């Protein structure tokens, strides 16, 4: 018991394969999980055979069907997505196990996969556990002239228990009113609570926040997520750690973090970033 308490009281950077790392962690040990997995933009997977599982087990999901039925039905529509979900699915099963009963998971995807993931997450977590679809909108980069330019990501939000999950809007950063003349000066000064559409710039290639990691996410996005769905002292997990934005935001908000990645470039960026901030952490190789 003492060993488990000490492990939970420290910040961890794990250099290793994330599925095996997740399986080594105790049940219900995190209040919040945020993941930004690879977006499957290359669409170069090869279909693997998936056998149907028993429909007597699994969470009750979409249209009252069992999880295994839904997965096999949805995956039949897109051979390329099948391999992507075969990669992501066991990690999300572990994420469900690792969330405590008040916990929340934020799954960050782009428009190519979000519609598939929504149906499958309904099946995996239970449709009643779906909390929000957050649209992170930005305006940077190329402007297509042959279609509407894609300028948003999707963040799917699911809770472990819809009757017990934690959410605190009072601590979240506020935004300017779009029509300040329609509200009182006091409201203008305070700002409004964000909706499920977040207008936030990407990390500027020339800004001070930039680490050089190609898929780095802005601190503002992670601060908002962590502020809303955890409290000081809580543990936050990110098992596709990338540039370590989750770790920095968690530290700055007085949470404990566990971040996992097996990419040497990622580990170098994360550890350099944390050392520059003076963060105490344990580096584990698994």
Please provide the DSSP assignment of 163-220 as one string.
TT----GGGS--B--SSGGGS-HHHHHH-B---SEEE-----TTSTT--S-TTPPPHH
> pTM of the predicted model, to two decimals?
0.87
149 Cα distance to chain centroid: 24
Tens digit of each residue's pLDDT, the chain (286 residues): 444 444 567 999 999 999 999 999 999 999 999 999 986 654 443 333 343 343 444 555 444 555 666 666 666 666 666 777 888 889 999 999 999 999 999 999 988 888 888 988 998 899 999 999 999 998 876 788 898 888 899 999 999 999 999 999 999 999 999 899 999 999 999 999 999 999 998 887 778 888 888 889 999 999 999 999 999 999 999 999 999 999 999 999 999 999 999 999 999 999 999 999 999 999 999 8
Rounded alpha-carbon distances, angstroms, from residue 19 to 23, 78, 261: 6, 24, 10
| Ramachandran quadrant class, 29 (left: phi over 0; alpha: psi -120 to 50; beta: rest) | alpha
Domains recognised in the chain with CATH numbers: 2-285 (3.40.50.150)
Q: Crossing angle, helix 79-98 and helix 114-125, to 10 degrees?
A: 40
Residue 67: per-residue pLDDT:
60
pLDDT of residue 101: 97
């Amino acid at each position: 018991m003492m060993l488990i308490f000490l492990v939970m009281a420290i910040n961890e950077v794990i250099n290793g394969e994330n599925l095996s790392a997740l399986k080594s962690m105790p049940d219900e040990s995190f209040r919040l999980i945020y993941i930004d997995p690879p977006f499957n933009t290359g669409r170069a997977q090869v279909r693997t055979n998936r056998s149907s599982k028993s429909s007597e087990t699994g969470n009750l999901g979409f249209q009252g069907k069992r999880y295994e039925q839904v997965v096999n039905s949805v995956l039949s529509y897109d051979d390329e997505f099948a391999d992507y979900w075969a990669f992501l699915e066991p990690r999300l099963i572990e994420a469900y196990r690792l969330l405590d009963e008040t916990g929340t998971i934020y799954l960050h995807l782009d428009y190519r996969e979000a519609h598939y993931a929504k149906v499958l997450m309904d099946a995996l977590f239970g449709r009643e556990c779906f909390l929000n679809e957050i649209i992170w909108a930005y305006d940077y980069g190329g402007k297509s002239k042959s279609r509407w330019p894609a300028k948003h990501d999707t963040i799917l939000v699911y809770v472990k228990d819809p009757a017990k999950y934690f959410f605190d809007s009072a601590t979240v950063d506020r935004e300017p009113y779009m029509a300040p003349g329609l509200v009182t000066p006091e409201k203008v000064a305070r700002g409004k609570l964000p909706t499920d559409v977040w207008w936030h710039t990407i990390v500027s290639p020339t800004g001070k926040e930039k680490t050089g990691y190609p898929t780095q996410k802005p601190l503002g996005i992670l601060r908002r997520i962590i502020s809303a769905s955890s409290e000081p002292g809580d543990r936050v997990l990110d098992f596709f750690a990338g540039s370590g934005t989750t770790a920095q935001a968690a530290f700055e908000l007085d949470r404990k973090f566990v971040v996992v990645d097996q990419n040497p470039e990622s580990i170098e960026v994360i550890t350099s970033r944390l050392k520059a901030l003076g963060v105490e952490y344990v580096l584990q190789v698994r």
